Amino acid sequence: MATQDPENSAAEIERCVTKLGIRGVNLLSHSENEYLDNQKFWAIFAAAEKLDVPIYIHPAIPSTKILGGYEDYGFPLAGPILGFAAICRCIPCA
């Protein structure tokens, strides 16, 4: 699901679920250097909640804003480590 336009993304979720029978939504962890916890993306989550479909947040290479702090250490180290950390953050602890 493209998240650059959250309102259209929400409408697309509704179309895909109601007309095509899609059973879930796949999102990248951020869009254009903005993370999904930004209020502008709430329409996407509201649409999925309304239709009772799950959202899978696929971890992506961190945005350039986040990676800026790791420039001295090299990009190859920052990408996998932060990607793994994003996955771990999504796993609930018992």
Q: Tell me, what's the pLDDT at 82?
A: 56
Residues 49/10, Cβ–Cβ less than 8 Å: no
Confidence of residue 53 (pLDDT cuts 50, 70, 90): very high
Q: Tell me, what's the pLDDT at 31?
A: 86
Torsion angle (degrees, nearest 10) of CA 37, 39, 45, 47: -170
Q: What is the mean pLDDT of residues 15-44?
A: 92
Q: Tell me, what's the pLDDT at 7?
A: 95
Q: In this model, does residue 83 exceed pLDDT 80? A: no
Which pTM value belongs to this model? 0.69
Q: Tell me, what's the pLDDT at 84?
A: 56
Q: Tell me, what's the pLDDT at 30?
A: 85
Residues 47/14, Cβ–Cβ less than 8 Å: yes
